[in-house]
Amino acid sequence: MSGQRGMPFPSNIQESRREAGLQRPQPRRERWVHAWGLTSRYFRSEDWKAAWLLIACYVGLELGTVYIFLLSNNWQREFFDTIEQRKAGLFLSVILTFVMIAALEVGVSLISNLVSWTLSMRWRRWLTNWYMNRWFARDRFYEIERLGMIDNPDQRIAEDIKAFTSFVQGNSIIGVAIGIVTSLTSAVSFGAILLQTSSPLAISFGGHNISFPGGDLIWFAIVYVLFGSVFVTWIGRPYIRRRMREQHYEADFRAGLIHVRRNSEQIAFSRTEVVERQNLLQAFDNIRRNWYRLMWANLGLNVGTGIYQRVMGVVPLFLTVPKFFAKQISFGQVMASRDAFTQFTSSLSYFVQVYPGLAEQIANINRLKALDDSLDNERPRGIAFTAGGTAADVALTVENLELRRPSGETLLALPDWTVHEGERWVIEGPSGAGKTTLLRAIAGLWPDGAGAVRMTNRGTAMLVPQRLYLPLGTLKNAICFPDRPEDHDDATIAALLERVRLGMHSDAMHAVRVWQDELSPGEQQRVALARILLQRPKFLVVDEATSALDAENATYFYETVLAEVAGATLISVVHDEQLARYHTNRLTICDGNARLQPIRMTS
């Protein structure tokens, strides 16, 4: 049989190991190229006008904040000069000036917050929609889980995108870029103020005096910032790794808790509370161990940045107070120079200030890159699936089909199979033989293998899996799915509930509950029957749709389908031989091979 013997796994199948620190990360350049694409994509989207307008407003407000800081610095000089010179007549006007500056600062801050919050939400909405479209396209949500490419894609879409687009902490990539622009503007502005109180700087070397442009305050600030940036970057490197692992372990722990909640009845029946509790404690222990390492990394980063900020406030005093004592500058100039030095060094050391938030963003970007790699991964499809193209009276054709596991191991060989319209096929075989996998291939959900599958597109097709999907909401919503509840009146749904022997739930059809947990497995399979009767498909594929029903209800299920959806093409997997009599043909799977034969109808 032709075809590729083994389907290769995605290149990022070990991404969870990278995030846990068990495997080397992807090349840095590749990650930064992805970060740029992820950041710029929204600003090239259909919402680009609003995006750039909000960015322009935000930049303007940030530059306005720099101007307000300059006004405040000038006010400090006048205020302390007024006190030093005991100019009581000017004191009230100085206070009024402070009130106006403070009011202006508060107003600009409020508007800046509104703009940044609006931009954050619009950006997050667009990016979430972009990821959701790709997640649902080509059944990627199913493929990611089937192959275990990454863990918790839901958290990445919900939490990592939220953090990536957030301006609240000023740590978004765009926020950092704007911060660099405003910081450079602030550095130039406050550097000009420092020049007013700086002394020429010259160094004697080899009998020559080397003069530096600017002044001593400027150069002390530059050297201090360079030293602080290198120091903080060095002590902050472990923080990035630990922060990324924290997100990984927290997601695993949350997933474990959700698993227990969703399977509470099964756990209670099997009395495995101790086992599940131990598993959760082990998952939390990973959080605890990483937390202590993160705590020490964060402590070192906080100590480093704390010392840096504290020393920044006193260095200018050591340089300007001697000039004040020498009566070269006024006391107001001392305080203004102190403020200007702090603002100047803060502007130049912007990277140091945003490093903790930037470290979290790097972790978010890495996790989103893993999600992108999984969504964009194109595995070669061994089984060709086509909707349509069958003959006039043919519902399904299978040619040279070979089903393989993701590892490449052959599961089932089916040379040729043709299902004519109106035929009813039963698929039988031992557990694990590949019956459900065959149905997945029929539905186009199983690409691993070789061969071709063509399904008719005439009429409605319905596939009922072993575990029926019940969407969140009302019982009516669950029965009408995938239609909207308002597409069918209550009387029709109530009649269906009676028809499938679920009449006791008629009064609760509009109750919003977790029906997946509320209904027993047998009741859920009767909901599946209600959907079949409501949709009346021309092509019906069911996978052990009566496994949770007693013999009498299982018989009722098939008799009702045959009576209400007469003439429909049926393919069903059953383990009860008594149900085979409701079919016209049999496909038996044994030892990796399939045997086709008609079923002789007995009176």
Residue 14 has which token pair?
């070990």
Q: What is the pLDDT of residue 498?
A: 94
Average pLDDT, stretch 176-195?
79
Distance CA 581, CA 562 (A): 12
Instruction: Please state whether beta strands 383-387 and 449-455 pair in parallel, antiparallel, or not at all (unpaired).
Output: parallel
Q: What is the pLDDT of residue 541?
A: 93
Q: Do domains 15-376 and 383-470+519-598 have the same CATH topology?
A: no
Confidence tier at 11 by pLDDT (50, 70, 90)? very low
Q: What is the pLDDT of residue 19?
A: 53
Average pLDDT, stretch 390-395?
88
| Average pLDDT across the chain, whole number | 83
Is 9's pLDDT higher than 60?
no
Average pLDDT, stretch 97-103?
90
Work out the angle at residue 183's Cα, subtended by the Cα atoms of residues 242 and 108, and round it to the nearest 5 degrees. 100
Q: What is the pLDDT of residue 243?
A: 75
Residue 438 has which token pair?
């065959």
Q: What is the pLDDT of residue 314?
A: 76
Percent of the chain with pLDDT over 90: 30
Residue 393 has which token pair?
């009276």
Rg over CA atoms, the chain:
35
- Give the tens place of pLDDT for each residue, 527-570: 999 999 999 999 999 999 999 999 999 999 999 999 999 889 99
Is 582's pLDDT higher than 70?
yes
List the single range of 112-126, 291-305, 399-413, 572-586 with lowest mean pLDDT: 291-305
Which strand ranges, in their side-by-side order, compose the sheet holding 461-464?
383-387, 449-455, 394-404, 410-420, 593-598, 585-590, 424-428, 569-573, 539-543, 461-464
The tokens 């703009």 sit on which residue? 115
Highest mean pLDDT among 172-181, 418-427, 509-518: 418-427
Distance CA 322, CA 255 (A): 62
Confidence tier at 293 by pLDDT (50, 70, 90)? confident
Q: What is the DSSP string of 486-519?
A: GGS-HHHHHHHHHHTT-GGGGGGTT-EE-HHHHS
Residue 268 has which token pair?
């209670």
Is 5's pLDDT higher than 50?
no
Distance CA 463, CA 540 (A): 6
Average pLDDT, stretch 87-98?
85
Q: What is the pLDDT of residue 204?
A: 62
Average pLDDT, stretch 39-48?
91
Is 321's pLDDT higher than 70?
yes
What letter does residue 160 receive in the DSSP assignment? Answer: I
CATH number listed for the domain at residues 15-376? 1.20.1560.10
Distance CA 598, CA 346 (A): 83
- Give the tens place of pLDDT for each residue, 338-384: 777 777 877 777 776 777 777 778 878 888 888 998 888 877 788 89
The maximal CA–CA distance of the chain, rounded, in angstroms, is 120
Evaluate whether the domain defined by 383-470+519-598 bears CATH number 3.40.50.2000: no
Domain parsing of the chain, residue ranges: 15-376, 383-470+519-598
Q: What is the pLDDT of residue 206?
A: 60
More confident call, 18 vs 413: 413
Residue 46 has which token pair?
């259909």
Q: In this structure, which long-range contacts are made by residues 506-509, counting pairs with CB atoms below 8 Å and at least 24 apart in sequence?
A: 508/475, 509/474, 509/475, 509/476, 509/479
Distance CA 417, CA 501 (A): 36
Is 465's pLDDT higher than 80?
yes
| 232 and 304 Cβ atoms separated by less than 8 Å | yes
User: Which 3 state secondary structure label does DSSP give 384?
Assistant: strand
What letter does residue 435 receive in the DSSP assignment? Answer: H
Average pLDDT, stretch 263-268?
73
Is 4's pLDDT higher than 70?
no
Highest mean pLDDT among 34-38, 122-126, 350-354, 406-410: 122-126
CA nearest 237: which of 180, 164, 293? 293
CA nearest 65: which of 121, 99, 113, 97? 113
Q: What is the pLDDT of residue 139?
A: 83
User: Left, alpha or beta for 459 (phi > 0: left; psi -120 to 50: alpha)?
Assistant: left
Is 6's pLDDT higher than 50?
no
452 φ/ψ angles, rounded to the nearest 5 degrees: -140, 145
Average pLDDT, stretch 466-486?
88
Is 439's pLDDT higher than 70?
yes
Is 202's pLDDT higher than 70?
no
Q: What is the pLDDT of residue 128?
A: 95
Which helix (H) or strand (E) covers residue 96, if one does?
helix 88-136
